[in-house]
């Protein structure tokens, strides 16, 4: 395949704002050019891809390495070892095919409802006949491949290669294709693991908690201060244990040493802690043995350890206690031998934090602080799942092996290759099912999360992009606490301040900002080595006693939350650490910060931290020089080069607290440590579409973030090749007149969703109240807001176990031999003909399914040979055209047929439009062009907007957009059309441009009424405003019913438009009628127009009769008829069926006079 | 194919159920489709595997109707 450079590639390059290579460069103006360079290597969806790549290349190997050996309990000499695991390229999984295992591209998977997955192969070594057998490339399972990840065929593909693969070059990637549907694993927000969090609440008092997470287990340990006594609590312990007993059980510490470890030399803490020694004395615990017994007695039996077939001999209480302390409580601090000192230091640290918080309530941690949070990405979630599945696979394989060795007479040597393939299928299924359903179940961790994955929303390009940056929180939505929902100061620059949904998920679902990166695990070995080896000032924490740790000026170095070393020169230590990182000796994502409250230095290398890049400032001068930007412009340097040369660096949320960041170059003071790359990056990709967002009232930006995702536009360059279930496209999408740099960076200008409408702000006709818009009919004729709606209808021709299959039937004909109306558009193959108009009720696919599906088909067990109709009909009231009919086969080798229908819609009354400032409105009236007002230049508006939309909404950004847009069209050049956030005020310059071209500087013009021909009494503000057509259209919502279908059980009208349902007269409406006294109307609405039924009732016994006869009384004498709601009749009968007698007593409405 | 296994002969059933049977009495009708990859016309008979004869692609599209279609110019 030869690939031509059609010059298209250059269009997708990061822009340099029309700068020529010879133009002068100023760091002040042009430093934002780091942003496109950054987005080339990191950011937006790259975190998904990085995380997945890390899983595929690293974590999967670690998981297999940790579970590499399988030994048989019966056959001593046999073992099996997994030596390596590799993920291949995505392939087809068709059977019965020569070219089957060839590489596949994502578009084929979408069209054929397949899973975009790659083979995972393992290398194994095992023993057969006392020989080591090596077997490479044994197929283990198939793993879904993330689009644009390292294994995907789209990674590194040029645009022309993308085109050949029918793929859109602007597609963000980062999602999976499972069974033909695109699935995203949303970013999950969690409290950080292995970190101590100190909190105070009414119920528990002051407490420190830590969630220990290791590969084996996840558990939470608490240190609680209650009634001045400190205890340690854990799930495995039946009751909280006095803290001194825990310290004694850990062994090797005298009372004095315990005191020193916790309180150091501080008398206040010593006094507070002293009482805890009494607790141990009261319990009669003096020695380690006694303490271990005390703990062991309180360890819950039947815990994760106690379940091993009952074969292990019962352990003594002391052993039980020792095991709990070593392996379960604070499990992430590993114990080597029986050296418990590190764990004692850790627990002492927790106790000390609790004591400090009790003295000074300000020292509690904030769990909403972004630095205390970790984001879980697709790779991490997949690795959790894969680890669980792989462990299950290993135990299944072992079981299979033991079953084989159990046989007394074996005919052959054990060959594990077959069983590996067989058991590996469960891994494939498990992965697919989890991504498909979004239910993440990991038994080891008791993890059971639903809704982890979502179908990628393809309503618009922005909707898809917005989904990739979405973060969902684990907090329950019902809790009425504002803390987790509120905007946190530390979200600055990391999470978008505007993009969050309204309503119940408000503040819980967040979005990443433009320059955010999420770290992957970088390993702590290098850091450990460096702390020990390079800096002489830091020594291992185990070498120190409590007093030394807590002397003034001594700083404990914590590595990922665990005390690791001690230094007396924290500033120098941190400075050296940063220097090393800037020189590239350490990973750029290792972070360090000093916490002077706790005399601690925290180094973090773990995954899921949120960070973002900054320009380094040293000695009051920015490290970024014009020559660097020149290199960038020439394409001779990338962002990573700047990173390794110490010009920029990543800071995570914790490290940000140690910095002084200047927003602009002129803000730099001697103490400044960093310089912001570009202020508008505090917003995300979706909020970045708004021009002048800093001039809007903040909720308006939030509204636009929600509406931008509903705007109809182009979704991708390949939008007509992919057959989506529902696709809306705008017929003539336009690039906004006023754009932002974010728009260019996310390529919204190449896949826009809206049109530049000429708007005049005035009142017209009274059909514009409550935000309704007046539309120009001629504009609609010219194609304004015209959109197309594509719908997909699918049929799969299944085959059944008895060998029968679904088939495509032929056209039915009436007695005259003419094709019946229903089948008018069917072809000979039973499928609709492409290009035909399809009306409601027409058949599109004449599928037929065998009547006999259940029989075995062997012998006499055989059903009829008939077929029943299972055709697919077009049900929507408005006609459409058949756009495309695709036939193919899916992974199960069944034929699949997809029909795509197309509707073209022009805006009509009630269709929804919105500008980019949270100003939505419906079409109130469509006016002939001759009745519209016109300017003296002949300009006639597309839209008339009511000025009442402005005062209360305060969307000044919209006024600016109008003015800026007008200036840039009258000038005929796009460079004015930038509405970036936090940039200078454009009004004066725009006014100047307008005046130069003979317009008023205010943007107001003279208009003449189109109805009377008189001049309007005032000048009218007008100009182009970008309008989005939203997906809510009258045609999809319009509904009425006189009579129609009823529900079977209650005989009441059905509910909902799709079932042609009735309109409910609900409780509140009922209350109104009761209050008004319209009883006959009520009776009609609630009974006669709904589920009235006539029943026979026996006046004697009060039970239902039938056909004028009472079964109970065996007579017809007192049976009478009455009307009642069928639901009431049903209730009576249901009660009777439960053995509750119900008897109706009747009386005359108008009694006879006796 | 698994359905083409040995079948127990029965007195009444002369016709064996299963995929091997020809459901249609009429001769197999052939249709033409367009290959999604190479855009060649592919002739497919009923029951034939769905696949382009020249490039092996398995996604085919139906040809446009030969009938006249009139659009409303609105």
- Indicate if A926 and A1027 belong to the same structural domain: yes
In tens, the pLDDT along A703-740 reads 999 999 999 999 999 999 999 999 999 999 999 999 99
pLDDT at residue A894 greater than cutoff 50: yes
pLDDT at residue A309 greater than cutoff 50: no
Mean pLDDT calculated for residue range A906-929: 95
Instruction: Please give the mean pLDDT across all residues of chain A.
Output: 88
Assigned domain for A353 exists: no
Please identify which of the residues A62, A771, A827, A1036 carries the catalytic annotation. Answer: A771
Residues of B in contact with A831 (CB under 8 A): 62
Mean pLDDT calculated for residue range A233-247: 89
3-state helix, strand, coil split of chain B in percent (to 5) is 5, 20, 75
Count A/B contacts: CB-CB distance under 8 Å: 88
Contact state of A862 with B13 under an 8 Å Cβ cutoff = yes
Assigned domain for A799 exists: yes
Those residues with Cβ within 8 angstroms of residue A707's Cβ, 6 or more apart along the chain or in another chain: A914, A918, A920, A1028, A1030
- Please state, for a pLDDT cut of 70, what percent of chain A lies above it: 95
Assigned domain for A1061 exists: no
CA torsion A948-A953-A956-A962 (nearest 10°) is -50
CA torsion A963-A967-A972-A975 (nearest 10°) is -90
pLDDT at residue B26 greater than cutoff 60: no
Residues of A in contact with B54 (CB under 8 A): none
Strand partners for A913: A921, A1029
How much is the pLDDT for A1097?
93
Mean pLDDT calculated for residue range A1033-1042: 93
pLDDT at residue A960 greater than cutoff 50: yes
Higher-confidence residue: A590 or A31? A590
Under DSSP, is residue A296 helix (H, G, I), strand (E, B) or coil?
helix
CA distance A942 to chain B (A): 18
A1126-1129 long-range contacts, CB within 8 A, separation 24+: A1126/A1050, A1126/A1051, A1126/A1052, A1126/A1091, A1126/A1092, A1126/A1093, A1127/A1050, A1127/A1051, A1127/A1052, A1127/A1091, A1129/A1093, A1129/A1095, A1129/A1104
Mean pLDDT calculated for residue range A513-525: 89
Mean pLDDT calculated for residue range A334-344: 84
CA distance A209 to chain B (A): 57
Out of A799, A833, A860, the one facing B10 most closely (by C-beta) is A860
- Indicate if A807 and A753 belong to the same structural domain: no
pLDDT at residue A311 greater than cutoff 60: no
Substitution target in B10, B11, B14, B17 with the highest count of A β-carbons within 10 Å is B17
Those residues with Cβ within 8 angstroms of residue A998's Cβ, 6 or more apart along the chain or in another chain: none
Residues of A in contact with B27 (CB under 8 A): none
Residue in chain A closest to B1 (alpha carbons) equals: A803
pLDDT at residue A474 greater than cutoff 70: yes
- Indicate if A63 and A108 belong to the same structural domain: yes
Distances (CA, A) of A561 to A363, A611, A883: 17, 18, 60
Per residue, the 3-state secondary structure of A481-510, as one string, reads CCHHHCCCHHHCCCECCCCCCCHHHCCCCE
Kindly state the helix (H) or strand (E) to which residue A382 belongs, with its residue range.
Answer: helix A378-406
Assigned domain for A1100 exists: no
Residue in chain B closest to A907 (alpha carbons) equals: B74
- Indicate if A965 and A891 belong to the same structural domain: no
How much is the pLDDT for A101?
58
How much is the pLDDT for A505?
86
Contact state of B13 with A804 under an 8 Å Cβ cutoff = no
Distance of alpha carbon A293 from alpha carbon B56, whole angstroms: 73
Under DSSP, is residue B64 helix (H, G, I), strand (E, B) or coil?
strand
Among A1033, A1053, A1071, the domain-final residue is A1033
Mean pLDDT calculated for residue range A200-221: 85
Contact state of B60 with A804 under an 8 Å Cβ cutoff = no
pLDDT at residue A976 greater than cutoff 80: no
Distance of alpha carbon A193 from alpha carbon A607, whole angstroms: 10
Assigned domain for A1083 exists: no
Strands (E), A928-1035: 934-935, 943-945, 1004-1005, 1007-1008, 1020-1029
pLDDT at residue B3 greater than cutoff 80: no
Task: Tell me, yes or no, if A852 is annotated catalytic.
Answer: no
Residue in chain B closest to A860 (alpha carbons) equals: B10
Contact state of B18 with A802 under an 8 Å Cβ cutoff = yes
- Token pair, residue A736, equals 């906004």
Higher-confidence residue: A537 or A277? A277
pLDDT at residue B7 greater than cutoff 60: no
- Indicate if A1016 and A989 belong to the same structural domain: yes
Q: Scan residues 832-851 of A and list those with Cβ closer than 8 Å to B.
A: 833-837
- Indicate if A795 and A891 belong to the same structural domain: yes
| b/e per residue A978-989 (b: at least 16 CB within 10 A) | bbbbeeeebbee
User: What's the number of domains chain A is made of?
Assistant: 5
Out of B3, B31, B50, the one facing A895 most closely (by C-beta) is B50
| b/e per residue A897-929 (b: at least 16 CB within 10 A) | bbbbbbbebbbeeebbbbbbbbbbbbbbbbbeb
Strands (E), A570-647: 591-595, 600-604, 610-618, 621-622
* Residue owning tokens 């009634």: A227
Contact state of A836 with B69 under an 8 Å Cβ cutoff = yes
Residues of B in contact with A99 (CB under 8 A): 56
Assigned domain for A26 exists: no
| Structural domain boundaries, residue A543 | 520-607
Residue A308: pLDDT band (50, 70, 90) is very low
How much is the pLDDT for A8?
52
CA distance A800 to chain B (A): 9
Other Cβ atoms within 10 Å of A40 Cβ, number: 14
Residue B6: pLDDT band (50, 70, 90) is low
Among A1033, A1053, A1088, the domain-final residue is A1033
Phi, psi at A637, each rounded to 5°: -135, 150
Query: Half-sphere exposure of residue A286, counting CA atoms within 13 Å on the CB side?
Result: 1
Contact state of B17 with A865 under an 8 Å Cβ cutoff = yes
Substitution target in A797, A858, A878 with the highest count of B β-carbons within 10 Å is A858
Residues of B in contact with A827 (CB under 8 A): 31, 62, 65
Which of the 8 DSSP states describes residue A1086?
A: I
Out of A803, A884, A886, the one facing B17 most closely (by C-beta) is A803
* Residue owning tokens 């639903």: A450
pTM: 0.88
Mean pLDDT calculated for residue range A546-568: 88
How much is the pLDDT for A939?
94
How much is the pLDDT for B24?
45
Distance of alpha carbon A624 from alpha carbon A213, whole angstroms: 41
Mean pLDDT calculated for residue range A380-401: 90
Residue A449: pLDDT band (50, 70, 90) is confident
CA distance B47 to chain A (A): 9
From A988, A1008, A985, A986, select the one nearest A996 (Cα to Cα). A988
Judge whether A931 is closer than 8 Å to chain B, CB to CB: no
Assigned domain for A1132 exists: no
The ipTM (two decimal places) reads 0.83
Phi, psi at A81, each rounded to 5°: -130, 135
Whichever domain contains A815, its CATH number is 2.40.50.150
- Indicate if A836 and A869 belong to the same structural domain: yes
Residues of B in contact with A833 (CB under 8 A): 62, 64-65, 67
Out of A99, A828, A858, the one facing B56 most closely (by C-beta) is A99
Residue in chain A closest to B62 (alpha carbons) equals: A885
Distance of alpha carbon A474 from alpha carbon A451, whole angstroms: 11
In tens, the pLDDT along A817-842 reads 889 999 999 998 899 999 999 999 99
Contact state of A802 with B17 under an 8 Å Cβ cutoff = yes
Judge whether A866 is closer than 8 Å to chain B, CB to CB: no
CA distance A829 to chain B (A): 7
Assigned domain for A130 exists: yes
How much is the pLDDT for A226?
87
Whichever domain contains A270, its CATH number is 3.90.1110.10
Judge whether A366 is closer than 8 Å to chain B, CB to CB: no
CA triple A274-A279-A283, angle to 5 deg: 150
| Sign of the torsion angle spanned by Cα atoms A1040, A1042, A1048, A1052 | positive
- Token pair, residue A810, equals 């032929």
Pairing of strands A1020-1029, A867-869: unpaired
Whichever domain contains A738, its CATH number is 2.40.270.10
Judge whether A827 is closer than 8 Å to chain B, CB to CB: yes
How much is the pLDDT for A9?
53
* Residue owning tokens 């079948």: B7
Mean pLDDT calculated for residue range A245-252: 86
pLDDT at residue B61 greater than cutoff 90: yes
Residue B15: pLDDT band (50, 70, 90) is very low
Distance of alpha carbon A1002 from alpha carbon A1072, whole angstroms: 52
Out of A802, A835, A852, the one facing B65 most closely (by C-beta) is A835
Mean pLDDT calculated for residue range A939-959: 95
Residue in chain A closest to B44 (alpha carbons) equals: A829
How much is the pLDDT for B19?
40
In tens, the pLDDT along A798-807 reads 998 888 889 9
Among A1003, A1033, A1063, the domain-final residue is A1033
- Indicate if A283 and A293 belong to the same structural domain: yes
Other Cβ atoms within 10 Å of A54 Cβ, number: 20
- Indicate if A782 and A929 belong to the same structural domain: yes
- Indicate if A917 and A1003 belong to the same structural domain: yes
Among chain B, residues having any CB pair with chain A shorter than 8 Å are: 3, 7-8, 10, 12-13, 15, 17-20, 23, 29, 31, 33, 36, 46, 49-50, 56, 58-65, 67, 69, 74
- Indicate if A776 and A917 belong to the same structural domain: yes
- Indicate if A914 and A779 belong to the same structural domain: yes
Distance of alpha carbon A105 from alpha carbon A125, whole angstroms: 33
Residue A306: pLDDT band (50, 70, 90) is very low
pLDDT at residue A637 greater than cutoff 80: yes
CA triple A552-A594-A539, angle to 5 deg: 60
Whichever domain contains A538, its CATH number is 3.90.1070.20
């Amino acid at each position: 395949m030869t690939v031509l450079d059609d010059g298209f590639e250059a269009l997708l390059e990061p822009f340099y704002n029309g700068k020529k290579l010879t133009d002068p460069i100023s760091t002040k103006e042009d430093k934002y050019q780091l942003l496109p360079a950054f987005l080339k290597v990191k950011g937006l969806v790259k975190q998904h891809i990085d995380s997945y790549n890390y899983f595929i290349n690293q974590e999967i190997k670690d998981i297999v390495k940790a579970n590499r050996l399988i030994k048989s309990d019966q056959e001593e000499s046999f073992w099996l070892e997994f030596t390596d695991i590799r993920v291949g390229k995505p392939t087809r999984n068709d059977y019965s095919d020569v070219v089957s295992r060839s590489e596949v591209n994502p578009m084929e998977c979408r069209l054929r409802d397949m899973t975009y997955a790659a083979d995972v192969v393992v290398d194994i070594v095992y023993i057969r006949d006392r020989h080591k057998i090596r077997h490479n490339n044994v197929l283990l399972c198939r793993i879904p491949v993330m689009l644009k990840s390292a294994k995907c065929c789209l990674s590194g593909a040029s645009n022309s290669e993308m085109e050949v693969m029918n793929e859109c070059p602007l597609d963000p990637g980062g999602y999976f294709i499972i069974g033909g549907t695109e699935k995203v694993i949303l970013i999950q927000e969690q409290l950080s693991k292995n970190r101590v969090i100190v909190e105070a609440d009414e119920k528990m008092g002051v407490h420190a908690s830590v969630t220990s997470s290791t590969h084996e287990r996840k558990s939470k340990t608490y240190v609680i201060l209650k009634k001045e006594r400190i205890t340690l609590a854990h799930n495995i312990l039946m009751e909280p244990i006095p803290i001194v007993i825990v310290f004694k059980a850990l062994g090797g510490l005298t009372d004095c040493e315990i005191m020193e470890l916790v309180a150091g030399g501080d008398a206040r803490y010593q006094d507070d802690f002293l009482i805890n020694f009494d607790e141990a004395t009261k319990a009669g615990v003096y020695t380690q043995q006694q303490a271990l017994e005390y703990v062991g007695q309180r360890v819950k039996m039947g815990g994760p350890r106690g379940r091993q077939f009952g074969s292990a001999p019962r352990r003594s209480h002391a052993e039980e206690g020792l095991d709990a302390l070593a392996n379960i409580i604070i499990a992430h601090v590993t114990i080597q031998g029986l050296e418990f000192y590190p764990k004692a230091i850790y627990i002492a640290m927790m106790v000390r934090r609790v004591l400090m918080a009790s003295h000074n309530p300000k020292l509690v941690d904030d769990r909403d602080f972004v630095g205390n949070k970790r984001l879980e990405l697709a790779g991490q979630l997949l690795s959790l799942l894969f680890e669980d599945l792989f462990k299950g696979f290993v135990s299944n394989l072992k079981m299979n092996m033991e079953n084989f060795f159990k046989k007394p007479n074996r005919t052959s040597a054990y060959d594990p290759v077959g069983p590996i393939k067989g058991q590996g299928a469960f891994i494939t299924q498990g992965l697919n099912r989890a991504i498909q359903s979004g239910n993440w179940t990991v038994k080891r961790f008791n993890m059971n999360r639903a809704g982890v994955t979502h179908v990628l929303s393809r309503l618009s390009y922005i909707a898809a992009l917005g989904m990739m940056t979405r973060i969902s929180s684990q907090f329950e939505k019902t809790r009425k606490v504002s803390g987790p929902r509120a905007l946190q100061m530390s979200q600055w620059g990391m999470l978008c301040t505007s993009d969050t949904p309204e309503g119940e998920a408000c503040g819980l679902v967040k979005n990443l900002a433009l320059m955010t990166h999420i770290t992957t695990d970088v390993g702590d070995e290098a850091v450990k080595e460096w702390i020990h080896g390079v800096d002489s000032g830091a020594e291992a924490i185990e070498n120190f006693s409590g007093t030394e740790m807590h002397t003034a000026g001594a700083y404990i170095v914590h590595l990922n939350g665990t005390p690791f070393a001690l230094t007396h020169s924290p500033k120098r230590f941190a400075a050296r650490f940063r220097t090393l990182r800037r020189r590239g000796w350490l990973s750029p994502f290792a972070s360090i910060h000093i916490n002077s409250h706790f005399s601690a230095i925290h180094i973090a290398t773990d995954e899921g931290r949120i960070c973002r890049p900054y320009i380094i400032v040293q000695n009051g001068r920015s490290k970024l020089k014009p020559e660097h930007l020149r290199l960038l412009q020439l394409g001779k340097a990338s962002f990573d080069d700047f990173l390794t040369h110490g010009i920029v660096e990543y800071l995570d949320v914790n490290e940000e607290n140690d910095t002084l960041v200047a927003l602009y170059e002129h803000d730099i003071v001697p103490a400044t440590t960093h310089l912001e790359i570009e202020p508008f990056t505090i917003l995300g990709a979706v909020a970045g579409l708004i021009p002048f967002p800093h001039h809007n009232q903040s909720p308006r930006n939030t509204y636009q973030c929600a509406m931008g995702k509903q705007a109809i536009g182009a979704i991708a360059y390949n939008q007509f090749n992919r057959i989506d279930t529902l696709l809306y496209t705008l017929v003539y999408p336009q690039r906004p007149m006023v754009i932002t740099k974010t728009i260019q960076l996310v390529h919204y200008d190449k896949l826009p969703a809206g049109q530049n409408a000429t708007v005049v702000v005035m009142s017209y006709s009274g059909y514009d109240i409550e935000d309704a818009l007046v539309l120009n009919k001629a504009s609609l004729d010219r194609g304004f807001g015209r959109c197309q709606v594509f719908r997909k209808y699918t049929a799969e021709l299944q085959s059944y176990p008895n060998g029968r299959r679904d088939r495509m039937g032929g056209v039915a004909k009436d007695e005259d031999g003419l094709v019946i109306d229903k089948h008018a558009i069917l072809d000979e193959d039973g499928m609709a003909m492409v290009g035909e108009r399809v009306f409601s009720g027409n058949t599109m696919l004449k599928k037929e399914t065998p009547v006999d599906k259940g029989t075995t088909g062997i012998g006499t067990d055989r059903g009829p040979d008939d077929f029943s109709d299972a055709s697919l009909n077009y049900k929507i009231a408005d006609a459409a055209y058949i756009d495309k009919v695709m036939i193919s086969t899916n992974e199960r080798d069944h034929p699949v047929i997809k029909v795509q229908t197309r509707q073209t819609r022009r805006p009509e009354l009630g269709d929804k439009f919105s500008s980019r400032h949270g100003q939505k409105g419906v079409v109130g009236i469509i006016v002939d062009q001759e009745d519209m007002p016109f300017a003296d230049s002949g300009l006639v508006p597309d839209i008339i907007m009511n000025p009442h939309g402005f005062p209360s909404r305060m969307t000044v950004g919209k006024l600016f957009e109008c003015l800026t847009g007008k200036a840039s069209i009258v000038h005929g050049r796009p460079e004015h059309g930038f509405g970036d956030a936090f940039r200078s005020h454009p009004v004066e310059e725009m006014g100047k441009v307008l005046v130069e071209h003979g317009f008023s500087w205010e943007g107001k013009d003279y208009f003449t009424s189109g109805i009377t021909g008189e001049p309007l009494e005032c000048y009218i503000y007008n100009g182009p405003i970008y309008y989005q057509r939203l997906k809510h259209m009258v045609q999809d919502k319009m509904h009425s019913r006189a009579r129609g279908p009823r529900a079977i059980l209650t005989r009441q009208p059905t509910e909902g438009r799709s079932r042609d349902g009735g309109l409910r007269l609900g409780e509140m409406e009922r209350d109104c009628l009761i209050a008004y006294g319209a009883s006959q109307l009520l009776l009609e609405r609630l009974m006669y127009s709904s589920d009235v039924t006539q029943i026979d009732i026996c006046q004697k016994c009060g039970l239902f009769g039938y056909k004028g006869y009472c079964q109970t009384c065996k007579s017809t004498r007192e049976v009478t008829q009455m009307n009642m709601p069928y639901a009431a009749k049903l209730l009576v009968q249901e009660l009777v069926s439960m053995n509750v007698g119900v008897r109706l007593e009747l009386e005359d409405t108008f009694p006879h006079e006796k | 194919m698994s359905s083409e296994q040995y079948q127990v002969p029965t007195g009444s059933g002369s016709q064996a159920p299963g995929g091997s049977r020809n459901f249609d009495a009429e001769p197999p009708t052939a249709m033409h489709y367009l290959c999604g990859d190479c855009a060649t016309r592919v002739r497919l008979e009923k029951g034939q595997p769905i696949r382009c004869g020249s490039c092996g692609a398995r996604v085919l599209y139906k040809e446009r109707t030969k009938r006249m279609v009139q659009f409303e110019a609105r």
